[in-house]
């Protein structure tokens, strides 16, 4: 048995759903073959059991031969033990095959999610990705699970047909021709089932996306009184999805009923013909009992075959969704010959006219926060329209970020915006994903003024963070997200509104400590807070069209640029009624201003 998860899922062939499933099967061929082998032994031992019973009746009971009867009884016991042992091993291999396929699917999508970064939510809905991690991996794993039983069903069918042909050619031909006809009779249901399953799968992903959007924006909805509107919208989509599920279930129920009805009719027919032959003396009583046993046993491979076809259809629908995600390419392509990122270089954006000198702490201010937020995304190549306008400039020349390997860009430039969330897991691992150590983490916690958040937890840094850090208040989450960004210690750090949800005293501490910790490292802060602006080296003021129209120290811009003074003083007035004294360690939990994803 293999250890899961796999060290690496491999490079999938996602050119088509069928090829993806075959690629997965090839990647676990050892366990699939092992499962098929034990499946063949397990079902084959059941297939020959009626023949042994028939021989025991003819040679032992009818002939009154006690020795023969005991001998055949011993054979039956051995077959029972073989069936039990092989059944256990078949089941173990089936579970391993299911888990391997499921883990490989999750790892493939997880690696692709990491590779795409910000491209993924712009191309695929959240519900689509969630559905892959829930229903789709179950269907893909299911087809690997049933493969062992299907192999046993095929071999046992051939084995029973051979035994019947040696006993009675007409009965053997009836089985050989009847079983394929039964399989073909359910064929017309398979295509509609695949089509309806695909439609239901699409509706389920849309419904999951709507639910996620409602939960994420619940505070905003309450603020504008839109809860009822979105509740009705979700109810309508839910009913549409339910009706699609009923259509799938209706067709599935017909298929399930045929899996019982058709083999049952076939069994009755085989037994009736066998009884006629027994009355005519063509076959013995033991052979008649054996024929009845064969007819009853054949229901198992017949139902297994239809189950296999059903699961293949569902797996192909799910594999198509996985192929769609795997086929996506990042907005920022990897250059054929990537350049090396220079160290200690200025960060320059030709489109906006922004220049951030190396080692300086620069603030971006604009009347429209979305403009500077979009500029921050462009500085880290996390937008849908990256270009070579953002460059690293030193004495040797300028290197566009698009000319670097995207992984190299991520190591040099880190963008932490208002959409950054906390992952689930141990708090120490969440805040220090690169494993830089407790000393670096402690300094980052101090800079973000988040020591009290950790101290209030009974387990401290060993506290297990819930999904998206929902157990923390808005201000606590914001400070922990800032801690994580500081712990990574990138050469260039871009922070978007890092203190918008904390009180004034905390913000003042963060501003002072941020300047101390990032001294000598390039830092860009998108903010209009006077407390933060007082601590930066210089400010770049942008017009609504995204161009830098003024830059310099905060106090100089206050006196020289009326538009800048209006933005900053307005922001200070707006925050007066929103921020608390934080005397009892309670922080504001007001949401930061939402901004649309740039498309």
Among the ranges given (58-62, 182-186, 512-516), the one the predictor scored with the smallest mean pLDDT: 182-186
- pLDDT score recorded for residue 599: 29
Signed CA dihedral, 559, 561, 563, 568: sign only: negative
- Which one, of 472, 380, 485, lies nearest residue 432 by Cα? 485
Question: Where does 117-217 have alpha helices with state H?
Answer: 119-123, 126-131, 137-167, 169-185, 187-216
Q: What is the mean pLDDT of the chain?
A: 83
- Residue 449 scores a pLDDT above 60: yes
pLDDT band at 372 (very low <50, low <70, confident <90, very high): very high
**Measured between alpha carbons, how far is 550 from 307 in angstroms, rounded to an integer?**
70
Q: Please name every residue paired with 541 in a beta bridge, in sequence order, or none if there are none.
A: 365, 550
**Measured between alpha carbons, how far is 408 from 36 in angstroms, rounded to an integer?**
46
- Residue 350 scores a pLDDT above 70: yes
Q: Domain spans of the chain?
A: 17-326, 346-420+491-576
- Residue 573 scores a pLDDT above 90: no
- pLDDT score recorded for residue 187: 65
171-216 confidence digits (pLDDT tens): 777 777 776 777 677 667 767 776 777 777 677 767 776 776 666 6
3-class SS of residue 486? helix
23-43 confidence digits (pLDDT tens): 999 989 999 999 999 989 998
How many Cβ atoms sit within 10 Å of the Cβ of residue 165?
15
**Measured between alpha carbons, how far is 282 from 263 in angstroms, rounded to an integer?**
25
Which one of 3.30.70.20, 3.40.50.300, 3.30.470.20, 3.90.1300.10 gives the CATH number of domain 346-420+491-576? 3.40.50.300
253-267 confidence digits (pLDDT tens): 887 787 777 777 777
Average pLDDT score over residue span 530-552: 94
508/65: higher pLDDT: 508
Tell me if 17-326 shares its fold with 346-420+491-576.
no
CA atoms within 13 A on the CB side of 467: 3
DSSP code, position 345: P
Residue carrying structure tokens 């998108």: 526
Determine the angle formed by the axes of helices 137-167 and 169-185, rounding to 10 degrees.
Answer: 160
Fold exhibited by the domain 17-326: ABC transporter transmembrane region fold (1.20.1560)
**Measured between alpha carbons, how far is 439 from 442 in angstroms, rounded to an integer?**
5
Average pLDDT score over residue span 154-180: 78
- pLDDT score recorded for residue 218: 57
For residue 163 the two structure tokens come to: 């035994």
Average pLDDT score over residue span 521-529: 94
pLDDT band at 587 (very low <50, low <70, confident <90, very high): very low
348/229: higher pLDDT: 348
- Which one, of 319, 320, 327, 318, lies nearest residue 120 by Cα? 327
Are 13 and 19 within 8 A, CB to CB?
A: yes
- pLDDT score recorded for residue 598: 33
For residue 38 the two structure tokens come to: 């034990």
- Residue 285 scores a pLDDT above 50: yes
- Residue 522 scores a pLDDT above 90: yes
In the chain, % of residues over pLDDT 70? 89
453-487 confidence digits (pLDDT tens): 999 999 999 999 987 788 888 889 999 999 999 99
- pLDDT score recorded for residue 269: 80
Average pLDDT score over residue span 408-430: 88
CA atoms within 13 A on the CB side of 190: 18
């Amino acid at each position: 048995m293999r250890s899961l998860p796999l060290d690496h899922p491999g490079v999938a062939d996602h050119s088509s759903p069928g090829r993806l499933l075959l690629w997965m099967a090839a990647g676990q061929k050892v366990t699939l073959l092992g499962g098929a082998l034990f499946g063949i032994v397990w079902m084959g031992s059941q297939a020959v059991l009626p023949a042994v019973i028939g021989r025991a009746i003819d040679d032992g009971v009818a002939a009154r031969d006690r020795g023969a009867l005991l001998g055949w009884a011993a054979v039956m016991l051995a077959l029972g033990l073989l069936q039990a042992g092989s059944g256990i091993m078949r089941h173990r291999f089936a579970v391993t095959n299911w888990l391997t396929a499921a883990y490989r699917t999750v790892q493939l999508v997880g690696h692709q999610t990491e590779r795409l970064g910000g491209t993924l939510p712009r191309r695929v809905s959240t519900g689509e990705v969630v559905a892959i991690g829930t229903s789709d991996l179950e269907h893909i794993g299911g087809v690997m699970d049933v493969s062992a039983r299907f192999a046993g069903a095929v071999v046992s069918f051939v084995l029973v047909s051979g035994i019947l042909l040696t006993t009675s050619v007409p009965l053997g031909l009836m089985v050989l021709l009847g079983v394929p006809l039964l399989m073909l009779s359910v064929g017309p249901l398979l295509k509609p089932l695949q089509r309806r399953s695909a439609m239901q799968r699409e509706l389920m992903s849309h419904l999951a996306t709507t639910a996620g959007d409602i939960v994420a924006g619940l505070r905003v909805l309450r603020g504008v009184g839109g809860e009822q509107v979105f509740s009705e919208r979700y109810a309508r989509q839910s009913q549409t999805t339910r009706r699609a599920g009923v259509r799938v279930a209706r067709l599935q129920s017909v298929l399930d009923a045929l899996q019982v009805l058709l083999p049952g009719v076939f069994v009755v027919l085989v037994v009736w013909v066998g009884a006629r032959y027994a009355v005519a003396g063509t076959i013995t009583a033991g052979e008649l009992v054996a024929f009845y046993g064969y007819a009853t046993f054949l229901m198992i491979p017949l139902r297994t075959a239809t189950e296999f076809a059903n699961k293949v259809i569902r797996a192909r629908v799910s594999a198509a969704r996985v192929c769609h995600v795997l086929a996506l390419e990042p907005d920022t392509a990897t250059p054929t010959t990537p350049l090396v990122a220079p160290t200690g270089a200025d960060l320059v954006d030709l489109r906006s006219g922004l220049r951030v000198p190396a080692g300086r702490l620069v603030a971006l201010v604009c009347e429209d926060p979305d403009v500077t937020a979009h500029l921050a995304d462009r500085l880290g190549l996390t937008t849908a329209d990256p270009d070579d306008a953002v460059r690293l400039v030193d004495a040797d020349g300028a290197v566009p970020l698009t000319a670097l390997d995207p992984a190299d860009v991520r190591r040099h430039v880190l963008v932490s915006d208002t959409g950054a969330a906390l992952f689930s897991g141990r708090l120490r691992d969440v805040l220090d994903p690169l494993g830089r150590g407790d000393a670096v983490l402690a300094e980052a916690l101090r800079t973000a003024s988040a020591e009290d958040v950790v101290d209030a937890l009974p387990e401290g840094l060993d506290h297990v963070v819930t999904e998206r850090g929902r157990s923390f208040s808005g201000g606590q989450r914001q400070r922990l997200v800032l801690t994580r960004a500081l712990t990574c210690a990138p050469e260039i750090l871009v922070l978007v509104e890092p203190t918008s949800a904390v009180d004034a005293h905390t913000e003042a501490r963060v501003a002072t400590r941020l300047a101390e910790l990032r001294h000598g490292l390039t830092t860009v802060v998108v903010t209009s807070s006077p407390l933060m602006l007082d601590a930066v080296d210089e400010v770049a003021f942008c017009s609504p069209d995204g161009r830098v129209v003024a830059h310099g120290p905060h106090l100089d811009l206050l006196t020289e640029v009326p538009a800048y003074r209006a933005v900053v003083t307005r922001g200070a007035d707006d925050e007066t009624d929103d921020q608390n004294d934080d005397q009892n360690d309670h922080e504001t939990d007001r949401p930061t201003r939402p901004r649309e994803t740039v498309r």
